[in-house]
Amino acid sequence: MAIDPVCKMTVDEKKAAATSDYKGVKYYFCAVGCKKAFDKDPEKYLGKK
């Protein structure tokens, strides 16, 4: 299981609503809205700002 970096929900990789690749890492999302938010500002959700 993966953790949605936006809402912190647990996501089954096989059933994820969306995915994004960022700096060679694949992220899984519970909803397309979370993916869109992540894609706008990934560093905000990865805690590196």
Collapsed DSSP state (helix, strand, coil) of residue 28 = strand
Strand 18-22 and strand 25-29: the pairing is antiparallel
* Predicted local distance difference test score (pLDDT) of residue 27: 98
User: 39: alpha, beta or left, given left = phi > 0 and alpha = psi -120 to 50?
Assistant: alpha
Mean pLDDT, rounded, for 22-45: 97
Mean pLDDT, rounded, for 10-35: 98
Give residue 43's pLDDT band: very low, low, confident or very high (50, 70, 90).
very high
Distance of CA 41 to the CA centre of its chain: 11
